[in-house]
Structure 1
Amino acid sequence: MEQLQQFFQDKTVSTVLDVGTGSGNFISVLKEALNNTKFTGIDPDNASLEEAAKIHPDVHFSIMSGEQLDFPDSTFDAASISMAMHHLPDVQQTFNEMKRVVKPGGWIIVNELFSDNLNPAQEVHKSMHHFRSTVDRLNGVCHNDTFTRAEILEQVKKAGLEICTAFNQEKDRVEPSTEDISERKDQLIKILSQIKDRPEYHELKKQIPEIEKALQQYGFQMATRLVVIATVKKD
């Protein structure tokens, strides 16, 4: 990510904590932007961490929630959270913990998809994402609908962080093949099967052919992501 490289090119970042790391995708991005940096990744899902450890054998991973970080104050030069804000039960508590473990004057990096001002192909992605988040919530999993761009910035400012820069990041639109569309439809059917005994099943089932039709008509493109780099204020 070129903007990250430009921002950190003259800055020393020796240690980074990646919160909600999942399979470690954002660590791969950060490795391209930062040099000689030691990474730590945390996530409450052990299966995701096992996958991340295969990709990043040089990174230390721990099972941990963002709301309660088991690290001393001022441990890291920076902390990041990517594509995970909408999974948090308490966004502000997580930001407070990230602030606590980052050294004063250090940085917090947020990478989060947003839900407004999207083109039709991105709206397809949003509808698929919200379909899954609805099923997760019915299963008792914290998976909220995505924030708007303004709401993400508001959450960062509310945490008392000073925004240094913020920019949008987009991936290219994909024209899915018939096979791709069939696979995505099968994924939705598999997700829906988790709640086959619930009354909401039949209403959600109606969305699948609508999403399939939109895929055929508009293609698929990841929703735009907002990247925010903020600094932890010095006392």
Structure 2
Amino acid sequence: MMETLTEFFNAKTVATLLDVGTGPGHFIKVLKEALPSTEITGVDPDHDSLEEARATYPDVTFREMKGEFLDFPDNSFDAASISMALHHLSDVQLTLKEMQRVVKSGGWIIVNELFSDNLNPAQEVHKRIHHFRSKIDRINGICHNESFKKEEIIHEVEKSGLEVVLQFENRKTANPPTSEEIQERKEKLHAALKQLEGRPEYHEMAAEVPRIEADLEKFGFEMATRLIVVGRVK
């Protein structure tokens, strides 16, 4: 992923970039490698995630805010990014348009998002675990939607008014998970389910756990493929 982004931005001036939904700052590592001279600002509504990001990247500015309402003037940045967060947004279009508002005309928006179709069996297991946990979050009033299909991501980007100038897939292959890693995934499933104890949805969700565990044992798990889209602000 980094090599493709580095090549794309090689002859382009990006002095400042806003990373929306930065969380603990996982995508900042990629941004720093692709854009080593760029001044980065990260925003996220979760205080604890930002504290983790600050500890990892003391040279980056972090602010607590939602992507739907960015507290920056128009034309503040040369580029903006959002990674693995579209499915956490209450309003995807509002966020993408806010990102365009704070980016200068002719600037760039980078979207990095996993997608839910054309996955192998191990990736399907990862998706099922993700959707299981996202449903529990929604039951608890937390905005966490199921992941988009690939064409849905492209549609959302184009619908927002961005001109798509680059798109490519990034699949992170890894060795088959160890028995310890599979057990850890199972424990996380049960920890997520525990959040519903006493709720009417508990038994329905609990019935899904053995089926996911069986597929974990059979297929293992692998991160779903991600789509990277770069759009230009008109």
- TM-score, with structure 2 as normaliser: 0.98
Gaps of 5+ in 2: none
Question: Could you tell me which amino acid in structure 2 is paired with residue 227 of structure 1?
Answer: I
Identity between Structure 1 and Structure 2 (%): 61
Q: Following superposition of structure 1 onto structure 2, how do residues 35-74 of structure 1 map, counting pairs within 5 Å?
A: 35-74=36-75
Residue 34 and residue 129 in structure 1: after superposition, are their counterparts in 2 closer, same or farther (change >3 A)? Answer: same
For 2:204, the equivalent position in structure 1 comes to 203
Q: Distance in 2 between matches of 1:138 and 1:125?
A: 20
For 2:15, the equivalent position in structure 1 comes to 14
Q: Distance in 2 between matches of 1:35 and 1:199?
A: 50
- 8 A contact 1:174–1:219 mirrored in 2: no
Q: Distance in 2 between matches of 1:226 and 1:122?
A: 14
Instruction: Quote how far apart the aligned CAs of 1:202 are.
Output: 1.1
The answer as to 2:126 corresponding to 1:90 is no
The answer as to 2:160 corresponding to 1:170 is no
User: Structure 1, residues 123-165: CA drift from partner, whole Å, max 9, x if none?
Assistant: 0110000011000000000000000000000000000000011
Aligned structure 1 segments of 4 or more residues deviating by more than 2 angstroms: none
Q: Distance in 2 between matches of 1:12 and 1:35?
A: 11
For 1:226, the equivalent position in structure 2 comes to 227
- 8 A contact 2:115–2:225 mirrored in 1: yes
Q: Distance in 1 between matches of 2:193 and 2:93?
A: 31
For 1:120, the equivalent position in structure 2 comes to 121
Instruction: Quote how far apart the aligned CAs of 1:173 are.
Output: 3.9
Question: Could you tell me which amino acid in structure 2 is paired with residue 186 of structure 1?
Answer: E
Count of equivalent residues? 233
Question: Could you tell me which amino acid in structure 2 is paired with residue 202 of structure 1?
Answer: H
Secondary structure, counterpart of 2:110 in structure 1: strand
User: Structure 1, residues 91-128: CA drift from partner, whole Å, max 9, x if none?
Assistant: 00001100000000000000000000000010011000
Instruction: Quote how far apart the aligned CAs of 1:61 are.
Output: 0.4
Gaps of 5+ in 1: none
User: Structure 1, residues 152-191: CA drift from partner, whole Å, max 9, x if none?
Assistant: 0000000000001100001114412222111111111111
- TM-score, with structure 1 as normaliser: 0.97
- 8 A contact 1:106–1:231 mirrored in 2: yes
